[in-house]
Chains A and B, each alone.
Chain A
Amino acid sequence: MNRIDRKFAELRKASRKGFVLYLTAGDPTMSDSFKIISQVEKAGVDILELGVPFSDPLADGPTIQRASSRSLKHRTSMKDVLNLVKRLRKGGIEVPLVIFTYYNPVLKYGLKRFISDCSDNGVDGALILDLPHDEAGEYVLSASEKDIKTIFLITPTTPERRIRDIVKVSSGFIYCVSRTGVTGARKDLSGEAPSIVKKIKRHTKLPVAVGFGISTAKQVKKVSGYCDAVVVGSAAVKKIEENINSKDIGKSVGRYVAALTKGLT
Chain B
Amino acid sequence: MNPDKRGMFGKFGGKFVPETLMNALAELENCYRKCIKEKSFRDELNYYLHEYAGRPTPLYYAERLSHKLGHKIYLKREDLLHTGAHKINNTIGQILLARRMGKKRIIAETGAGQHGVATATVSAMFGIKCEVYMGEEDIHRQNLNVFRMNLLGANVINVKSGSRTLKDAMNEAIRDWVTNVRHTHYILGSVGGPHPYPMIVRDFQKIIGQEAKKQILKKEGKLPDYLVACVGGGSNSIGLFYNFLKDRKVKLIGVEAGGLGIRTGKHAARFKGGQVGVLHGSKSYVLQDENGQISTTHSVSAGLDYAGVGPEHSYLFEKGRIQYDAVSDKEAVEAFTFLCRSEGIIPALESAHAVAYVIKNHKKLGRNKLIIINLSGRGDKDVQVVGDYIS
Question: Total interface residues on A, using CB and 8 Å?
Answer: 40
Contact A78 B16 (CB under 8 A): no
Contact A108 B22 (CB under 8 A): no
Give the interface centre of A105, A106, A107 by most chain B CB atoms within 10 Å: A107
Contacts of B15 in A (CB 8 A): 132, 134-135
CA distance in complex: A129, B17 (Å): 7
Nearest B residue (CB) for A59? B18
CA distance in complex: A153, B20 (Å): 9
Q: For the complex formed, measure the closest distance between the CB of B167 and the CB atoms of chain A, giving whole angstroms.
A: 7
Contact B18 A157 (CB under 8 A): no
Q: For the complex formed, measure the closest distance between the CB of B7 and the CB atoms of chain A, giving whole angstroms.
A: 9
Interface residues of B in 200-238 (CB under 8 A from A): none
Q: For the complex formed, measure the closest distance between the CB of B365 and the CB atoms of chain A, giving whole angstroms.
A: 37
Contact A155 B20 (CB under 8 A): yes
Query: Contacts A56-B167, A181-B178 hold; do A103 and B278 have CB atoms under 8 A apart?
Result: yes
Contact A134 B6 (CB under 8 A): yes
Contacts of A177 in B (CB 8 A): 19-20
Contacts of B251 in A (CB 8 A): none
Question: Total interface residues on B, using CB and 8 Å?
Answer: 38
Q: For the complex formed, measure the closest distance between the CB of B162 and the CB atoms of chain A, giving whole angstroms.
A: 7
Is chain B's binding surface mostly helix, strand, loop or mixed?
A: mixed
Contacts of A158 in B (CB 8 A): 19-20, 22-23
Nearest A residue (CB) for B275? A108
Contact B22 A78 (CB under 8 A): no
Q: For the complex formed, measure the closest distance between the CB of B241 and the CB atoms of chain A, giving whole angstroms.
A: 27
CA distance in complex: A162, B18 (Å): 14
Contacts of A102 in B (CB 8 A): 278
Contact A108 B290 (CB under 8 A): yes
Contacts of A152 in B (CB 8 A): 19
How many residue pairs link A and B with beta carbons under 8 A? The number is 114
Contact of B292 among A61, A105, A180, A181 (CB under 8 A): A105
Q: Which of B118-126, B179-187, B336-344 lies at the interface with chain A? A: B179-187
Contact A162 B279 (CB under 8 A): no
Q: Mark A179-210, 1 if CB is under 8 A from B, else 0.
A: 01110000000000000000000000000000
* B171 in the interface (beta carbon within 8 A): yes
Contact of A107 among B175, B179, B278, B293 (CB under 8 A): B278
Contact A56 B20 (CB under 8 A): no
Q: For the complex formed, measure the closest distance between the CB of A233 and the CB atoms of chain B, giving whole angstroms.
A: 14
* A75 in the interface (beta carbon within 8 A): yes
Interface residues of B in 1-33 (CB under 8 A from A): 6, 14-24
* B369 in the interface (beta carbon within 8 A): no
Interface residues of A in 225-261 (CB under 8 A from B): none
Contact A130 B18 (CB under 8 A): yes
Is chain A's binding surface mostly helix, strand, loop or mixed?
A: loop
CA distance in complex: A162, B20 (Å): 11
CA distance in complex: A130, B281 (Å): 7
Nearest A residue (CB) for B281? A130
Contacts of B321 in A (CB 8 A): none
Contacts of B161 in A (CB 8 A): 65
Contact B23 A58 (CB under 8 A): no
Query: Contacts A109-B292, A180-B179 hold; do A56 and B171 have CB atoms under 8 A apart?
Result: yes
CA distance in complex: A154, B168 (Å): 26
Contact B277 A107 (CB under 8 A): yes
Q: For the complex formed, measure the closest distance between the CB of B182 and the CB atoms of chain A, giving whole angstroms.
A: 7
Contacts of B20 in A (CB 8 A): 153, 155-158, 177, 180-181
Contact A153 B18 (CB under 8 A): yes
CA distance in complex: A54, B18 (Å): 14
Q: For the complex formed, measure the closest distance between the CB of B208 and the CB atoms of chain A, giving whole angstroms.
A: 30
Contacts of B288 in A (CB 8 A): 104, 108
* B361 in the interface (beta carbon within 8 A): no
Contact A104 B180 (CB under 8 A): no
Q: Mark A3-20, 1 if CB is under 8 A from B, else 0.
A: 000000000000000000
* A131 in the interface (beta carbon within 8 A): yes
Contacts of A55 in B (CB 8 A): 162, 293-294
Interface residues of A in 32-74 (CB under 8 A from B): 54-59, 61, 65, 72
Q: Mark A88-119, 1 if CB is under 8 A from B, else 0.
A: 00000000000000111111110000000000
Query: Contacts A65-B161, A78-B291, A157-B23 hold; do A129 and B18 have CB atoms under 8 A apart?
Result: yes
CA distance in complex: A78, B17 (Å): 20
Query: Contacts A104-B279, A132-B22, A152-B19 hold; do A180 and B291 have CB atoms under 8 A apart?
Result: no
Query: Contacts A177-B20, A180-B20, A182-B175 hold; do A157 and B292 have CB atoms under 8 A apart?
Result: no
* B103 in the interface (beta carbon within 8 A): no
Nearest A residue (CB) for B18? A59
Contacts of B327 in A (CB 8 A): none
Contacts of B360 in A (CB 8 A): none
Nearest B residue (CB) for A133? B19
Interface residues of B in 293-315 (CB under 8 A from A): 293-294
Contact of B19 among A65, A106, A155 (CB under 8 A): A155
Contacts A54-B293, A55-B162, A134-B6 known; 14 new A-B pairs at CB < 8 A: A54-B292, A55-B293, A57-B171, A58-B18, A58-B280, A103-B278, A104-B288, A108-B288, A130-B17, A132-B17, A135-B6, A162-B22, A180-B181, A181-B178
What are 22 A-B pairs with beta-carbon distances under 8 A?
Answer: A54-B293, A56-B168, A56-B171, A58-B175, A65-B161, A72-B293, A75-B291, A77-B291, A78-B291, A78-B292, A104-B288, A105-B293, A106-B292, A107-B278, A108-B288, A134-B6, A134-B22, A157-B20, A177-B19, A181-B20, A181-B179, A182-B179
